[in-house]
Amino acid sequence: MKAIRIYQTGGADVLQYEDVEKPTPGNGQVLVKVAAASVNFADTMVRRGTYPFMPPLPAIPGLECSGLVEAVGDEVTRVRPGQPVALLGEKCYAQYVLADAASVTPLPEGLDLDEAAAVIVNYATAYHMLHTMAQVQPGQTILVHAAAGGVGTAVIQLAKEAGAKVIGLTSSREKVAYTVQQGIDYIINYRTDDVVKRIMEITYNRGVDLVLNSVAGDTFARDLEVLAPFGNLIWFGFAAGPPEGNLAEQLATHFGKSVGIRTFVIYTVAQSAPDLMAQSLERLFAHLADKKIRPHVHERMPLSEAARAHELLESGAVMGKLILKP
């Protein structure tokens, strides 16, 4: 079968499209014929060697995909050959992928498999930050960084469904227009606008109840400034690199507001609360079938063009999700 493999970390040219052996399912395993493999920002970090949870090299990247069950190993009763599924796993940049049966979610018949591939990481991340972590309430105000991205799109749709007001940050006119189409309440271009001033105007000087920050870099000081009393900042990514400055000092400046900073990783849910993960995915795929959520596929590309996909995602030009087709 064909797959993308990396032998060393580096630029997009380390992604090699090559022949690898097709795996066979063992006990409790499922072999899936991949229909759509998602491109996540985390894949670009693995490729660069900056991901906190690096796989051993050589490695086939890819954390999630959708497809049809090709074969099952002994003792697998959860799915049967021919069934459409999505999975959170590893080595998904390939024509076939092997997964533990427990990490495979059966899909309702008739779903668009490209859209299904875009749900697990982005929508489950948005869902668990909003509901499991923040227990967001109708009427609350949320600030989301990278609002036009894959997770950003999911946050807009799920936060609106929960009755919250969403303020987004992004970097271009095109992305501003995209987030408005997605139903965002307010969108701020952080390259051209005074972010703190705009947020305080929008919230009548109260600030926001929740910040969802996937960027880090120099952004925490500003986030803490716009947090309302009792507000929380959830930090879930490093798009602009590790946090800069002295976090304890930044927190001390806003000590009187009783605010919190928390981290979030979707694997905590998948590994420490698998039942909760399974319930949320069932709910999200039912929402997809009912068209209550609509993942946006920015572009579908052949698997062989994984390098172009990474360059595009790292350039910041992607709205929604990139999908690789084996």
Ligand X SMILES: NC(=O)c1ccc[n+]([C@@H]2O[C@H](COP(=O)([O-])OP(=O)(O)OC[C@H]3O[C@@H](n4cnc5c(N)ncnc54)[C@H](OP(=O)(O)O)[C@@H]3O)[C@@H](O)[C@H]2O)c1
> 177 near 185, Cβ under 8 Å?
no
Site for ligand X in 125-144 (CB under 6 A): 125
Q: List all residues 6 or more positions away from 252 whose beta carbon is below 8 Å from its beta carbon.
A: none
CA distance 71 to 54: 28
Site stretch for ligand X (CB under 6 A), options 76-84, 253-261, 275-283, 313-321: 313-321
Strand 84-88 vs strand 64-72: parallel, antiparallel, or unpaired? antiparallel
- In the chain, count H helices and then E strands: 11, 15
CA distance 65 to 39: 9
Q: Binding of ligand X at residue 122 (CB under 6 A)?
A: yes
Q: Which one, 23 or 311, has the nearer CB to ligand X?
A: 311
Which residue, among 47, 29, 4, 20, has the nearest Cα to 89 in the 3D structure?
Answer: 29
Q: Which one, 125 or 141, has the nearer CB to ligand X?
A: 125
> 65 near 93, Cβ under 8 Å?
no
Q: Binding of ligand X at residue 240 (CB under 6 A)?
A: yes
Q: Which one, 69 or 307, has the nearer CB to ligand X?
A: 307
Q: How many residues bind ligand X (CB under 6 A)?
A: 29
- Closest separation in Å from C-beta 260 to ligand X: 17
State which of residues 25, 61, 89, 152 lies at the interface with ligand X (CB under 6 A): 152
Q: Binding of ligand X at residue 324 (CB under 6 A)?
A: no
Q: Which one, 69 or 148, has the nearer CB to ligand X?
A: 148
> 175 near 148, Cβ under 8 Å?
yes
State which of residues 146, 155, 208, 303 lies at the interface with ligand X (CB under 6 A): 146
DSSP 138-203: TT-EEEESSTTSHHHHHHHHHHHHTT-EEEEEESSHHHHHHHHHTT-SEEEETTTS-HHHHHHHHT
Site for ligand X in 210-229 (CB under 6 A): 214-215
- Closest separation in Å from C-beta 152 to ligand X: 6
Q: Which one, 84 or 295, has the nearer CB to ligand X?
A: 295
Site stretch for ligand X (CB under 6 A), options 26-34, 36-44, 54-62, 71-79: 36-44
Q: Binding of ligand X at residue 280 (CB under 6 A)?
A: no
- Closest separation in Å from C-beta 231 to ligand X: 20
Q: Binding of ligand X at residue 178 (CB under 6 A)?
A: no
- Closest separation in Å from C-beta 236 to ligand X: 4
Site stretch for ligand X (CB under 6 A), options 92-100, 131-139, 234-242, 270-278: 234-242
Strand order in the sheet with 227-235: 186-189, 165-170, 141-144, 208-213, 227-235, 260-263
Q: List all residues 6 or more positions away from 209 whose beta carbon is below 8 Å from its beta carbon.
A: 134, 136, 140, 141, 142, 228, 230, 231, 232
Q: Binding of ligand X at residue 99 (CB under 6 A)?
A: no
Q: Which residues bind ligand X (CB under 6 A)?
A: 40-42, 121-122, 125, 146, 148-152, 170-171, 175, 214-215, 236-240, 264-266, 313-314, 316, 318
